[in-house]
Structures are given as C-alpha cells and as structure tokens.
Amino acid sequence: MADKQIKKIGVLTSGGDGPGMNAAIRAVVRSAVHHGLGVTGFIRGYEGLIDDNAVELNHRSVANIIDKGGTFLKTARSPRFKEAEGQKKAVATLKKYNVDALVVIGGDGSYAGAHDLYSKWKIPTVGLPGTIDNDIYGTDQTIGCHTAVNTALEAIDKIRDTGHSMERIFVVEVMGHHSGYIALQVALGAGAEDVIIPERKFDYQKLYEGIKKGHDIGKISWIIVVAEGAGKAHQVSEKVIEITKFESRYVVLGHIQRGGSPTAPDRILATRLGAASVDCLLRGEHGRAVGVLQNKINIVELGQACTMSIVPIDEYCNLIKTLT
C-alpha cells in the first residue's frame, strides 16, 4: 500500500478522549475533501477497524462540531488490536473500504498501534496527539490538555474559596497516571502549596513539617495537588490529618477533566494539526506524527513519538515552593 497514490483516507480517535478531538476530525475531513480525497471514519478507535464499524464522511458530516467536547466518532481501548490477529482484521477492513492511508488521533498507546500498522502492515499512517496528558514527544502541546488544565483550575479556584473560609487543607487529585503535566500546570496556575507527581519522589515528611511551620505563622489553608499516578488523594489527606492533626478534605476531579467545550488554543491546535496530517500523507511522509514545536508544525517518526515529552519539572516544583 505504501507507494500507491492516496485517494481515500481513514480517520479514527483512540484511547482516552479529550476536548478538541472533534475539531481535529473536522480539520482532517475538510482538508482531505479540499484535496479531492474521500474519507471514511472508523467508530470506537481500533475496535471499529476490527469490527468493520465505519461511516463515510463528507464536508457536511463535520459541521457544528468544532466546539463540542468528546469525539463523535467515539473512542475505545482495544486490547484485541495489540494482537496480530486483530491487526490483520483491521487491515482487511481498511482494504474493504479502499482506504489508502489512516490518521490516528490519540495518545502514545494509539501511536504505538499506528506505528505497527505502518511498520508491520505497510499502511501509510499519521498520528495526531489527542490526549489530555501532554506526554507525547515531538509536540509542545497535545490536543485537550489546555482545556483539561483550565477545567481543573476552575474547580480548584472554587475549592480554595471553601478551603480558605473553613481553614482546611485540601488534597486535590487530578488526572495523569504516568504524566504529572496536568498536576504541575494546575498547581502553578492555582497557586497550590505542593504538588505530588509520578516523575519525582515526594518528601511527605517535609510536607507535614511545612504545614506545622506554616500554621505557626498564621497560614490557615493549603492546597496540595496530586496526580492520580503518584498517590490517592484520600490516603494523602488521611495521613495529613493523622500526622498534623489539622482538618483536611480531599477531592478527586476525575473525568470532568476530559469533557467540555475545547478552549481556543485546543481548537486552533487541533485544526492546524488535522490539516497538517493530511498534508503529511499527501507529501508521502508516512509513519509520522505531527505536532507543534515553537509554534511551527513539527513532524517526527511515529516510533520516536511514542516516548514521553520532557517537562521542566524542577523549575515548576521550585517555583511552587518559592511562592508558597
């Protein structure tokens, strides 16, 4: 398939959804139509490829979705696609619909799948970074992250009101199993007192001592942000109560961070990257991932893009401590 002229492309969203995925699909479809290509959407990510669940898309199919959260193509995790048998069925479905190339919108796991389709099955693929985690190499931002950070920030601002009024220590759990990016951003943006992330060993003793010292000089409320992969908010809160004897509550923000209307930066990023992914395929650059670095479209090998991005963790953590 690799050297064939591309006349029709496929598009799917895979893994955890994020705000801006619809805007990305819209840009892929409309760019493809602009270049005279046909487009097939696959429903529920790689599951749709395996189960032959497809929908033909045109310019009108993606009207009025740029502002909508979620993904109208639905998304799923597909353990079956990790096996050769699942991938074989997926390739057969692509052939059935005469799809010559595929745009995969998702996170690092979805990228690994797109890389397999390219390297093992010779399907021209391009990956588009759709995840709230902002943990993909080759792009400064992933689609959905900006909205998720804003959603979490809004919630923490409200928590601060009650925390300050009732003189409590709040532990707020945000999303991120392997990535502390959201936690770092919201901790800095909300003026939180501490942040606990998977990438960095956390000194709990120092936290308890800091709370006691702060209390001695009149500090009455705290916000501690914890990324879900680094600890559970209820456990951190219980321990704070046990050691410091001060009042503490916890909040798990959970999946509200994945929903909602995408912010302007997410819509714009999704639109630029959606168009760039089609350009990339048409230039014959396959097995690639598109991103934005220093506000310019950046293209890397899909295999390379499956690794984590580098966040200035020390700078963030030092700032949080300095400004507390």
Contact residues: ligand F6P, CB under 6 A: 16, 107, 131-133, 175-177, 228, 258
Lookup: tokens for 165: 């009024």
CB 173 within 8 A of CB 251: yes
Q: Which of 100, 108, 116, 133 is catalytic?
A: 133
Question: Cα(304)–Cα(209) distance, rounded to whole angstroms?
Answer: 42
Spell out the residues 6+ positions from residue 264 whose beta carbon is closer than 8 angstroms to its own.
none
Which token pair is 130? 């759709």
Confirm whether 133 is a catalytic residue. Answer: yes
Work out what residue 176 binds among ligand F6P, ligand ADP, none; the CB cut-off runs from 5 to 8 Å by kind.
ligand F6P
Distance, in Å, from the CA atom of 200 to the CA atom of 215, rounded to the nearest integer, reads 26
Task: Work out what residue 109 binds among ligand F6P, ligand ADP, none; the CB cut-off runs from 5 to 8 Å by kind.
Answer: ligand ADP
**Could you tell me which of 202, 249, 242 has the C-alpha nearest to residue 222?**
249
Partner in contact with 46, chosen from ligand F6P, ligand ADP, none, beta carbon below 5 to 8 Å by kind: ligand ADP
Nearer to ligand F6P, 54 or 183 (CB): 183
* Minimum separation from the CB atom of position 27 to ligand F6P (A): 21
| Cβ proximity to ligand ADP, 38 vs 130, nearer residue | 130
- What is the total residue count of the chain? 324
Smallest gap from residue 50 Cβ to ligand ADP (A): 9
- Report which of 187, 167, 176 is spatially closest to residue 249, judged by C-alpha positions: 167
Which of residues 33 and 156 has its CB atom nearest to ligand F6P in the complex?
A: 156
With CA atoms as reference, report the closest residue to 40 among 95, 106, 1, 87: 95
Chain residues that interact with ligand ADP, rule: CB under 6 A:
14-16, 46, 77-78, 81-82, 106-110, 112-113, 116, 131
Q: Which is nearer to ligand ADP, 82 or 234 (CB)?
A: 82
Least distance from ligand F6P to the Cβ atom of residue 198, Å: 10
Please state the closest distance from residue 16 (CB atom) to ligand F6P, in A.
3
Query: Least CB distance from residue 71 to ligand F6P, whole Å?
Result: 13
Residue 228 interacts, among ligand ADP, ligand F6P, none and using kind-specific CB cut-offs from 5 to 8 Å, with ligand F6P
The residue type found at 71 is: T
Beta-bridge partners for 106:
129
Residue 219: burial class (beta carbons within 10 Å; 0-12, 13-18, 19+): middle
Catalytic amino acids?
133
